Amino acid sequence: MKRIRATLLLAPAAALIFLFILLPYITVLVMSFRAPAEGQPYGEGFSVEGYAHFFAESYYATSLPQTLFLGVVTTLVCLILAYPVALHIAFASKRWRGLLYGIVLSPLLVGIVVRSYGWTILLGNSGVINSTLRNLGLIDRPLPLMYNDFGVILALAHVFLPFMVLPLLSSLQAMDPAVTQAARSLGASRFTIFRRVTFPVSMPGVQSGCILVFVLAISSYVTPALVGGMRVKTTTLLVVDALIDQFQWPFGSAMALILAVSAGIVVLIFARLTRMKWT
């Protein structure tokens, strides 16, 4: 009787997981092995032509390391910028903590399209930054701040920075202040306390924040499309182009799965390395 009750209680959650997580992945997996057919976006028969075409064409194959590179660099930039912010909020007074929380979360209230478009206004050849520098006489020609890796990484870091701050805050706020006081009483310097106490304690937040930002960065479409254009070629842009513009659903599904598997491998390697280092 207890097993029946437990099964009935788990059934709604299991049904939701199957419908909204497993079933879409199964559909994409099956679609990726469909053979392309003219006039039929979902293909006919089964083959591995989509995977072979991706790795055979350098135009598509080179987009994968480019996408992973952007994700890794964006994650590092977010970690470097977010850690001091999270550290300051974690040890701030209760009066200021709520205000700082609101400042960190406020960008999430604005749509990602608006935030990405804002960077095009700042980084464009006739944008705010280049216009200001030219008016000051510091440059003769516009700086290439847009339609390159620099502009995309900068915009992605701004968009996903809150997703790095929040996990770090959770880990830092769970740390007992007495541990830091004990380290100071034993003569440890601030750098030693950070290296031996604070950073190891915050590693769960670092790990979860890095994984979250990395996955969001490599799957981002709006920001690379607006800030990078087609000059910064990512696999996500090619997937959307294959699905929507070319109606090649099998090829688009194959590219999406290749990106997902590659991201999973990177995440597993990162999780394994951080777990080995801090055991």
pLDDT digits (tens, 9 = 90+) for 10-31: 888 888 988 888 888 888 888 8
Please choose, from the candidates 223, 254, 215, 233, the residue with its C-alpha nearest in 3D space to the C-alpha of residue 159.
223
| Cα 205 versus chain centre, distance | 15
Residue 45 covered by a domain: no
Query: What is the number of domains present in the chain?
Result: 1
Question: What is the helix (H) or strand (E) element at residue 40, kind and residue range?
Answer: strand 40-46
pLDDT of residue 182: 81
Structure tokens given for 247:
């109606």
> pLDDT category, 279, cuts 50, 70, 90?
very low
Work out the average pLDDT over 223-233. 88
Question: Are 158 and 145 a contacting pair, CB within 8 Å?
Answer: no
Residues 174, 90: Cα–Cα separation, whole Å: 9
Q: What is the CATH number of the domain that holds 76?
A: 1.10.3720.10
pLDDT in tens, 182-206: 878 778 787 887 888 888 888 889 9
Is residue 244 included in any domain, yes or no? no
Within-domain flag for 37: no
pLDDT at 9 over 90: no
13, burial (CB in 10 Å: exposed 0-12, middle 13-18, buried 19+) = exposed
User: Does any domain span residue 273?
Assistant: no
**By C-alpha distance, which of 209, 181, 199 is closest to 87?**
199
Instruction: For residue 162, give the H/E element and its range.
Output: helix 149-173
- Which range has the worst mean pLDDT, 174-178, 196-200, 270-274? 174-178
- Residue 100 resides in a domain: yes
Residue labelled with tokens 């688009």: 252
- Rounded Cα distance between 116 and 112, Å, is 6
242: in domain: no
Residue for token pair 């559909």: 27
The pLDDT assigned to 42 comes to 67
When comparing pLDDT for 277 and 36, which is higher?
A: 36
Which residue segment(s) compose the domain that 156 sits in?
63-232
Alpha carbons within 13 angstroms on the beta-carbon side of residue 159 total 30
Single-letter amino acid code for the residue at 37: A
* pLDDT, tens digit (0-9, with 9 covering 90-100), for 27-79: 888 888 888 767 676 667 788 888 998 999 888 999 999 999 999 999 999 99
CB 107 within 8 A of CB 115: yes
Residue 161: inside a domain, yes or no? yes
What are the tokens at 167?
């996990």
Higher pLDDT, 258 or 244: 258
The answer as to whether 117 is a domain residue is yes
What letter does residue 279 receive in the DSSP assignment?
Answer: -
Token representation of residue 231: 């000059």
Give 106-164 pLDDT, tens digit per residue. 888 888 889 999 999 999 888 889 999 888 888 888 888 889 999 999 999 999 999 99
Q: How many helices (H) and strands (E) does the chain have?
A: 16, 2
Could you tell me the pTM of the whole model?
Answer: 0.89
